Structure 1
């Protein structure tokens, strides 16, 4: 029974001894070993054997980069304004022995050093510079911390200011200023938009006015051409109607008696009208009555009436040819007048130069001044008269011989 208890005690002692003698270090960590209270060595990651009751692992350092946020701290700027700054620091242990023995609590030491350095930097800047110079502040703070923590075996990789909060009154004033700036920009953009709109509208109205004027001009040209064609066609129709009437009269071979009878029938229509107050008897009515009486007497005596006084048919008139000939004559007359004006101007210039020429001497100059001016209108030619397009009226038929 006693042997079993002794064996159990031996096993327990061996387990304790082996447990204290074997130490396993995790990856990215370094252990600091002390032997009898004095630094002995560092243990890299992996298994290691220690002397039981002599060696002891005092510190286990994490060699990875550490992120430590610091609570907001009140800092006074150069213009005596209190701002709260929230910062965060990225550092890494590069010498575990110095980090273990040079600083009692290196994290707290870094925090205090950061706050002190931050107050020194912010104290030389006003509020506007503090809000707009974060990169500059971060750079200065990192340089100071890196230099101070180098003796602790720590390297500060990065310093960031997460937030800079000015006082509430300053925040309200800044918000009002930002709102006023935004309103100003909005008004500027609105005015610019209205100006661009007015410019585009003016350009559109200008183009519209130009197109409207061009359309009116083309419409006026087309209306003028249509009126001209209408007048030409109307004149041609009237000419054809006159030709047809005269052809019909020529085919019927009217005599003096028929014409006198028709003249007598037209007299009541001439006198008809509300505005006619006085009716003057035409002088031709006597001749018409004489012709009508002579025709009746010849018919009563059985003498045949002479048909020698019939009308001759007028010639057909080509209105287009007449207008073309008239336009050609006008163009030739205009060209002739231009040439005459140019020749007269050249003659006048030559005369003036000959008078002013110094080679002619005083006598020639006096003679030139006393000479009469040439008659500029002596060479003018009479204008060409375009042939008339009106048809020739028929000649009056001869009176029939009186019966004795």
Structure 2
């Protein structure tokens, strides 16, 4: 009896294990953003989306499991030769995504390795058509060209190439030294240009200042001459006005009683006074022929005043 009990226990345990194995082989839970590829008797049967699924034990088998999330693949450094025959090392990062689990399972053996190798060969081709200087200046354009080529080639594999980024460009030491010398020379050239431009601007500023100074001086001299001319004109006008006013008053005085005699006396006084000055300023004595006839001279001047009034 004990023997039969032991056999029953072993059978029960074996049956329980068989049930557990069947359940494990039958029930499948697919996580979110994942696809499972199911084969039935070694042949593709269907693709399981996220959720709970029941399979036929020992007949159906989950052959491939794919994530639909964006994957990041580090592309190993590779040696590339530029168009101007400079060897550089290129490191890159590739971003891909599975969009068809069936193609990703049967289109290529390992789509990650295939995408990485294709990225390396495409990068070598693109770098070979680009000069070294453009390699640094046009990274975005190079990345775009690589992505376009990879996406076309990877389409039968059921994957989408989203982006490719050059993470580093390694240069030989000799090229680094040459580039440093070139950049140093460029900085010195820019410094020399900036210095010459500053000196040129300083000379321009000085000449402009001198020019403005000359203009200001000429304008001041011009204004001075105008002011002096206006002053002389006003002086002449005032003298003429005063002279005319004096003559008018003399003429009015002549018409008054005794005016003519006063004028005659004044003329005689001035005549004698001017003659005296003339005698003092010369070594020789000048005596007019009609000195005794001073009255006749005064009368003649009075006659002239009379005619001037008329």
Q: TM-score range by the shorter chain?
A: 0.5 to 0.7
Q: Which residue of 2 aligns with 1:286?
A: 292
Pairing partner for 1:61 from 50, 66, 79: 66
Q: TM-score, normalised by structure 2?
A: 0.64
Q: Which residue of 2 aligns with 1:30?
A: 35
Q: Which residue of 2 aligns with 1:270?
A: 276
Instruction: State the alpha-carbon separation in 2 of the partners of residues 248 and 57 from structure 1.
Output: 148
- Distance of aligned partners of 1:63 and 1:218 in 2 relative to their CA distance in 1, 3 Å threshold: same
Q: Which has the higher helix share?
A: 2
Q: CA RMSD in A?
A: 5.2
Listed one character per residue, the Cα deviations across residues 282-323 of structure 1 (whole Å, up to 9, x for unaligned) are 55553469xxxxxxxxxxxxxxxxxxx9x68957xxxxxxxx
Secondary structure (helix, strand or coil) at the match of 1:87 reads strand
- How far apart are residue 237 of structure 1 and its match? 1.8
Return 247-256 or 29-38, whichever deviates more.
247-256
Q: TM-score, normalised by structure 1?
A: 0.52
- How far apart are residue 62 of structure 1 and its match? 1.0
Q: Where in structure 1 are there 5+ consecutive unaligned residues?
A: 290-308, 316-390, 394-404
- Distance of aligned partners of 1:314 and 1:251 in 2 relative to their CA distance in 1, 3 Å threshold: farther
Contact 2:70–2:96 (Cα < 8 Å) also in 1: yes
Q: Where in structure 2 are there 5+ consecutive unaligned residues?
A: none
Listed one character per residue, the Cα deviations across residues 50-105 of structure 1 (whole Å, up to 9, x for unaligned) are 34465443432112332323233232335442212122223222332443355443
- Would you say 1:154 and 2:159 are equivalent positions? yes
Listed one character per residue, the Cα deviations across residues 334-376 of structure 1 (whole Å, up to 9, x for unaligned) are xxxxxxxxxxxxxxxxxxxxxxxxxxxxxxxxxxxxxxxxxxx
Larger Rg: 1
Q: How does 1:3-402 map to 2 (within 5 A)?
A: 18=23, 20-34=25-39, 39-52=44-57, 55-101=60-106, 103-123=108-128, 125-128=130-133, 130-131=135-136, 134=139, 137-138=142-143, 141-142=146-147, 145-146=150-151, 148-178=153-183, 180-181=185-186, 184=189, 194=200, 198=204, 205=211, 209=215, 220=225, 223-224=228-229, 226-245=231-250, 247-248=252-253, 251-252=257-258, 259=265, 263=269, 266=272, 270=276, 275-287=281-293, 392=308
- Distance of aligned partners of 1:56 and 1:219 in 2 relative to their CA distance in 1, 3 Å threshold: same
Q: Which residue of 2 aligns with 1:321?
A: none
Q: Which has the higher strand share?
A: 2
Instruction: State the alpha-carbon separation in 1 of the partners of residues 120 and 38 from structure 2.
Output: 34
Instruction: State the alpha-carbon separation in 1 of the partners of residues 212 and 243 from structure 2.
Output: 47
Aligned length: 294
Instruction: State the alpha-carbon separation in 2 of the partners of residues 48 and 126 from structure 1.
Output: 56
- How far apart are residue 44 of structure 1 and its match? 1.4
Contact 1:82–1:166 (Cα < 8 Å) also in 2: yes
